[in-house]
Structure 1
Amino acid sequence: MELDYLATVLLSSLSSASILLIATIGLAVVFGLMGVINLAHGEFLMIGAYTALTVTQHGVPFILAIPVAVLATMAIGALVEVLIIRRLYGRLFDTMLATWGLSIAFYQLAVLIFGTVSPGIGMPQFSLRIGGYSLAGYPLLMIGVAALTGAFVYFLMTRTVYGMKARAAIQVPEMAQAIGIESSRINTLTFSIGCGLAGFAGAVLLPIVPATPSMGFAFVVKAFLTVVVAGPVTLTGSTLAAIGLGGGASITASFLTSVSGDVFFFLVTALLLWLYPVGITARWQRKM
């Protein structure tokens, strides 16, 4: 096997794993800190993509459209938490039903407003050559974006006053209330941040995955399984699961077919959940 081809496959697989992590990290925050399974995560990703697309169509540079998409999805996420999620804490099945219904509503609303096909913004035209092979530069850029996003979330949750309050509000809510932490506000902000990260994913991946009402479906199943495989140490576990599952699926697809890559993903997921029913990080001492 040519070393150039092997290097190309490895870089491409790391890029695929990074894209999966970017799409997953918002779900990991909401599920890991709040215990809420947000089945509308894919639709928040879609909202971020459509927001970025709409803003760029009005002449705003793409790089500035990304923070606009984040703010828009955070605002919608805060509203959803106040109106729906807040009333369902501790009722996991009801929360799943509510967010599933919300995802259907968002999907239908997107179809009514934008139709089923939307124009893309085009991928930035730069590439990396490795011997006789060439890789598109923008997907490779996602490796750095995933690393920076993971570092930002880790810093936010472990090195800031908000992060300490957020973990206290979820882990020991009675004690948090006793020392003056307003759990309701913290929970709203945490859910909003998770939705904002989904919006960020939709916006930053827009040149790779065009905005459509159904674009979230392509990510939400794999993102959800990645978080479940990760277990209680959601951030670190999701990073490892995304690299292992997403990267392994991409390598398999490179040597066989895309269907084989998906088969690899789901079979390895099933095997890991059989071996580690509560996630690969269940016995870890760390909490993030």
Structure 2
Amino acid sequence: MMELDYLATVLLSSLSSASILLIATIGLAVVFGLMGVINLAHGEFLMIGAYAALTATRYGVPFIFAIPIAVLVTMAIGAAVEVLIIRRLYGRLFDTMLATWGLSIAFYQLAVTIFGTVTPGIGMPQFNLKIGNYSLAGYPILMIGVAVLATLFVYVLMTRTVYGMKARAAIQMPEMARAIGIESYRVNTLTFAIGCGLAGFAGAVLLPIVPATPSMGFAFVIKAFLAVVVAGPVTLTGSALTAIGLGGGASVTASFLTSVAGDAFFFLITAFLLWLYPLGITAKWRSKM
């Protein structure tokens, strides 16, 4: 019975780690997967969301209300970035990468200047989940439900709303969309802002687990990019599968071996999947969401 309890603890903890990766990946799936924009500043938008939530809590705002504040702040900054920079670079992949890379450096240095290199966290809510003789912190386990709700939100937004239909039309067939009266520029601005807002949401909701620092986005952005690339054209469903599969597998490996072995598992399986499916695991799926 002890071994079963331990196995259940490892599996639940691994699912939690995979869900955290999925939360950090969803915004990238929107911007890169739907818009084709490689936003190398994605990790910095996650960092901005964390700092926005942290600053709000320092002014007495309850943490639960600091999260939507972080989303609004990152959406506003994302909209400004799209209008001032990204809009001029659609179709120029390399230029977009250079621009967002420079933006990430600027955001990082700005955060260092304002907040310093080390920032205290807000503390994790103290509730635990007991499995036999083992105990798990409750807040990371709560991220499983948060990841499910965030994925459902994006799916419904993109497939069941007028905005979602306009967004997909503006991205997939921009000339046709403009011909039938869809203002592609406004739709693209909102879509990019939503992707940045989702990154800000990730930074805010993960703040009790990952304290705000200027470099906190680095811990997520490489694995998030790889998850989206492996996912392929069916961005949302594929990203959910790859984040859970790769993130969960890496966490299980780390639990039984070492964290280095977990990272090695993640990158080796990613390389194998890209060799097996160069266009992503969902390249032959009929569905496109």
Q: Indicate the TM-score class for this superposition, using the shorter chain for normalisation.
A: over 0.9
- Map of 2:198 onto structure 1: 197
- Map of 1:268 onto structure 2: 269
- Map of 1:24 onto structure 2: 25
CA distance in 2, matches of 1:145, 1:232: 24
Pairs within 5 Å for 1:180-219: 180-219=181-220
CA distance in 1, matches of 2:150, 2:235: 14
CA distance in 2, matches of 1:18, 1:162: 27
Q: After TM superposition, where is structure 1 displaced by more than 4 Å over at least 4 residues in a row?
A: none
Q: Offset of 1:33 from its aligned partner?
A: 1.3
- Map of 1:95 onto structure 2: 96
CA distance in 2, matches of 1:216, 1:270: 22
Aligned-partner residue type, residue 218 of structure 1: A
Gaps in structure 1 of 5+ consecutive residues: none
Pairs within 5 Å for 1:81-120: 81-120=82-121
Pairs within 5 Å for 1:56-67: 56-67=57-68
CA distance in 1, matches of 2:161, 2:155: 10
Q: Offset of 1:28 from its aligned partner?
A: 0.2
- Map of 1:68 onto structure 2: 69
Pairs within 5 Å for 1:21-170: 21-170=22-171
- Map of 1:259 onto structure 2: 260
Q: Offset of 1:106 from its aligned partner?
A: 0.1
CA distance in 2, matches of 1:249, 1:188: 35
- Map of 1:243 onto structure 2: 244
Aligned residues: 288
CA distance in 1, matches of 2:35, 2:230: 17
CA distance in 2, matches of 1:139, 1:262: 20
CA distance in 1, matches of 2:132, 2:171: 51
CA distance in 2, matches of 1:111, 1:263: 31
Aligned-partner residue type, residue 22 of structure 2: L
Instruction: Indicate the RMSD between aligned Cα atoms, in angstroms.
Output: 0.6
Q: Offset of 1:19 from its aligned partner?
A: 0.2
Q: Offset of 1:243 from its aligned partner?
A: 0.8
Q: Write out per-residue CA displacement over residues 230-258 of structure 1, whole angstroms, 9 at most, x where no aligned residue.
A: 00000000000001100000000000000
- Map of 1:174 onto structure 2: 175
CA distance in 1, matches of 2:198, 2:102: 21
Q: Offset of 1:32 from its aligned partner?
A: 1.4
CA distance in 2, matches of 1:124, 1:39: 32
Aligned-partner residue type, residue 48 of structure 1: G
Normalised by the length of structure 1, the TM-score is: 0.99
Aligned-partner residue type, residue 219 of structure 2: A
- Map of 2:283 onto structure 1: 282
CA distance in 2, matches of 1:152, 1:159: 10
Pairs within 5 Å for 1:3-14: 3-14=4-15
